[in-house]
């Protein structure tokens, strides 16, 4: 009887393992290696190494199902934001509609894109043992991890803002050409500032609170997980306000000092100064996170079963 029970237990364990492997394969199919036209150079800055790595990871892991999973929610949110903007501005006509949709896509990309696009240190925490064996400066590792998602989100936001600028005459007929061009240029300059500021906060959370970061495709569910996400989102938005406050303050001073001379064009130098201040804050924050990354222990990361 005991031997029979052992046989049944072994068979049940093997069946459970096969079912778990099948479910994991359906949820996260293994990426297929395919040729790419971008070869990593033998020399260069550390940040370029992680830019290439994350870019290749996204290219090789992108499938039709993955695009469907991300593009459908993006389209729904963008359409919802655009519908609200159209209702508020009473937009009519195809050009006004497309302009409003472009503004909605840009807003979603800048505000929520850094939370969705987690191909950075949040994703590479599962490979922390490998990262810590590389003789690289910790601050450069953090900056390099942020570089590709920031560049990709900035490109999407710039494309949407460019489309909105082209159609701005129909979308915002009450504004003059000077206001439309100055506002669009300022938005193009501020988009990377907002994106990289949020990525800095997200990666800082990954370094300081690694147990809160879901690894791989594992997404905790339930009330506790929802509350954790809301707390993290609130902390990110609050940190974003703190990071943007100095640049906004300097821009406001420029506005009151030079608006009577430059008109709406004063928005452009104000945005340039704000962008420079935020980039300096990002560099300072990544340097400050270096020692914390060195002390980061792989045992502090909660790995999925």
Confidence of residue 279 (pLDDT cuts 50, 70, 90): very high
| Residue 242 lies inside a defined structural domain of this protein | yes
Instruction: Measure CA of the first residue to CA of the last residue in the chain; give whole Å.
Output: 32
pLDDT of 2 strictly over 50: no
pLDDT of 7 strictly over 80: no
Q: Residue 273 has what pLDDT? A: 94
Contact present, 240 and 198 (Cβ < 8 Å): yes
pLDDT of 78 strictly over 70: no
Between 109 and 25, whose confidence is greater? Answer: 109
Between 185 and 55, whose confidence is greater? Answer: 185
pLDDT of 72 strictly over 80: no
Q: Residue 9 has what pLDDT? A: 58
The average pLDDT across 235-260 equals: 89
| Residue 166 lies inside a defined structural domain of this protein | yes
Contact present, 164 and 184 (Cβ < 8 Å): yes
pLDDT of 116 strictly over 70: yes
d(CA 188, CA 192): 8
Confidence of residue 86 (pLDDT cuts 50, 70, 90): low
What's the sign of the alpha-carbon dihedral 120, 228, 243, 131?
negative
Write phi, then psi, for 104 (nearest 5 degrees): -65, -40
Q: Residue 113 has what pLDDT? A: 87
| Residue 72 lies inside a defined structural domain of this protein | yes
The average pLDDT across 135-160 equals: 92
d(CA 156, CA 149): 11
| 285: CB partners within 8 A, 6+ apart | 200, 204
| Residue 88 lies inside a defined structural domain of this protein | yes
The mean pLDDT of the chain is 79
| Residue 29 lies inside a defined structural domain of this protein | no
Between 227 and 55, whose confidence is greater? Answer: 55
User: Rounded to the nearest 10 degrees, how much is the dihedral formed by the CA atoms of 225, 230, 236, 238?
Assistant: -150
pLDDT of 8 strictly over 60: no
The average pLDDT across 135-149 equals: 90
DSSP class of residue 256? Answer: H
Number of domains in the chain: 1
* 189-200: pLDDT as tens digits: 999 999 999 999
| Residue 24 lies inside a defined structural domain of this protein | no
d(CA 52, CA 37): 11
| Residue 124 lies inside a defined structural domain of this protein | yes
Render 236-255 in DSSP notation, one character per residue: HHHHHHHHHHHHHHHHHHHH
Q: Residue 62 has what pLDDT? A: 67
The average pLDDT across 98-106 equals: 85
d(CA 255, CA 251): 6
Q: Which one, of 120, 127, 141, 119, lies nearest residue 294 by Cα?
A: 141
Angstrom CA distances, 300 to 44, 170, 201, 210, 230, stand at 32, 54, 19, 7, 22
Whether this prediction's pTM lies above 0.75 is answered by: yes
The average pLDDT across 69-86 equals: 62
| Residue 173 lies inside a defined structural domain of this protein | yes
Render 93-125 in DSSP notation, one character per residue: SHHHHHHHHHHHHHHHHHHTHHHH--TTHHHHG
Q: Residue 71 has what pLDDT? A: 63
Range of the domain at 93: 42-212+223-300
């Amino acid at each position: 009887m005991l031997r029979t029970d052992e046989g049944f237990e072994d068979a049940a364990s093997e069946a459970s393992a096969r079912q778990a492997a099948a479910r994991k394969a359906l949820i996260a199919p293994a990426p297929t290696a395919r040729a790419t036209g971008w070869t990593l150079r033998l020399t260069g800055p550390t940040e370029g190494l992680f830019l290439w790595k994350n870019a290749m990871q996204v290219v090789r892991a992108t499938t039709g199902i993955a695009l469907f999973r991300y593009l459908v929610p993006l389209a729904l949110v963008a359409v919802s934001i655009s519908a609200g903007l159209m209702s508020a501005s009473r937009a009519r006509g195809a050009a006004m509609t497309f302009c409003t949709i472009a503004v909605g896509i840009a807003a979603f990309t800048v505000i929520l894109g850094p939370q969705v696009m987690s191909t950075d240190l949040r994703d590479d925490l599962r490979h922390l043992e490998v990262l810590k064996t590389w003789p690289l400066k910790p601050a450069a590792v953090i900056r390099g991890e942020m570089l590709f998602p920031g560049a990709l989100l900035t490109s999407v936001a710039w494309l949407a803002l460019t489309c909105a600028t082209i159609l701005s005459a129909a979308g915002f007929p009450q504004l003059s050409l000077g206001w439309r061009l100055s506002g669009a240029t300022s938005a193009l300059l501020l988009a990377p500032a907002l994106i990289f500021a949020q990525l800095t906060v997200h990666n800082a959370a990954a370094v300081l609170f690694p147990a809160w970061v879901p690894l791989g495709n594992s997404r905790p569910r339930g009330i506790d997980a929802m509350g954790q996400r809301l707390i993290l989102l609130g902390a990110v938005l609050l940190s974003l306000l703190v990071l943007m406050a100095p640049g906004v303050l300097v821009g406001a001073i420029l506005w009151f000092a030079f608006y009577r001379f430059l008109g709406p064009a004063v928005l452009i130098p104000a945005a340039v100064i704000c962008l420079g201040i935020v980039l300096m804050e990002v560099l300072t924050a990544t340097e400050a996170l270096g020692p914390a990354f060195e002390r980061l222990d792989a045992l502090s990361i909660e790995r999925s079963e």
